[in-house]
Amino acid sequence: MEEKQIKEAEEGLALPRSALGCMLSANAAGILILGGVLAALGYFVQEIPSWLRLPAGVVFALYCAWVLISSLIRYNSYGYSIQPDKLLVREGLIFTKTDMVPVERIHQITVKSGPIERLYGLSKVIVTTAGGEVTIRFLKEETAWEIADSLQKIVGKARKAQTEEPEALDGKGPQEAFLSKQGGESHG
């Protein structure tokens, strides 16, 4: 493995700068929707005591600050690494988690993008396994397609290597060899 690949595997690949803008825009849209709902509530519900409006405004302002700061934290903690035998995706806000998917477990690879992602030219790669999904988010569109293609090739090589491995079939078919290893008989 080249030195660059080793370094990337250890550190994880960083997101493009436009990913931060996408995160901030998505959070800003959420803040605007919440602010609109709260403003409408304040307008239509006249029984809200005036002394409650200031603390509610302060809580809303703190929430807005937290959402924006959390975007920065999430951006800095996000990373992914594609290795010959596994895919790693690291993300988190307060608690960081790393999903590790062995390539032989990958069933499907999908490239998707939502409306805000498309504004920034970003996409995500969704890797489906029998146990669930792992998503590499906030990728430049061309990078997402390159990753999907690369993962598809790695999965193909892994599957080809599995089928080419010599098994001690002793002249039997795969079912008979499996049953004989298990101590059973074939009825076919």
Q: Shortest CA distance to 129 belongs to which of 86, 162, 177?
A: 86
pLDDT confidence of residue 161 = 81
Residue 119 domain-assigned (yes or no): yes
- CATH at residue 105: 2.30.29.30
On whether residue 103 sits in a domain, the answer given is: yes
Domain count across the chain? 1
In this structure, is residue 176 part of a structural domain?
A: no
Q: What is the CA radius of gyration of the chain?
A: 25
pLDDT at 7: 45
Does 181 map to a domain? no
Q: How much is the pLDDT for 149?
A: 94
What is the structure's pLDDT at 186? 46
Alpha-carbon distance of 83 to 12, in angstroms, equals: 10
- pLDDT number for residue 120: 95
Range of the domain at 110: 3-164
Yes or no: say if 180 and 172 are a contact pair by the CB < 8 Å rule. yes
Q: What is the pLDDT of residue 159?
A: 83
pLDDT per residue rounded down to tens, the chain (188 residues) = 345 543 444 455 678 889 999 999 998 898 899 888 888 887 887 777 778 778 888 988 998 899 889 999 989 889 899 888 899 999 888 888 999 999 889 999 999 999 999 999 999 999 999 889 999 999 999 999 999 999 999 888 888 887 775 554 455 555 554 455 555 554 54
CA separation, residue 143 to residues 41, 56, 146 (Å): 43, 43, 5
Residue 7 forms part of a structural domain: yes
Q: Which DSSP string corresponds to 143-180? A: HHHHHHHHHHHHHHHHHHHHHHS----TT--HHHHHHH
**Residue 56 forms part of a structural domain:** yes
Residue 185 located in a structural domain: no
Q: Is residue 174 part of a domain?
A: no
**What per-residue confidence (pLDDT) applies to 42?**
76
pLDDT at 8: 46
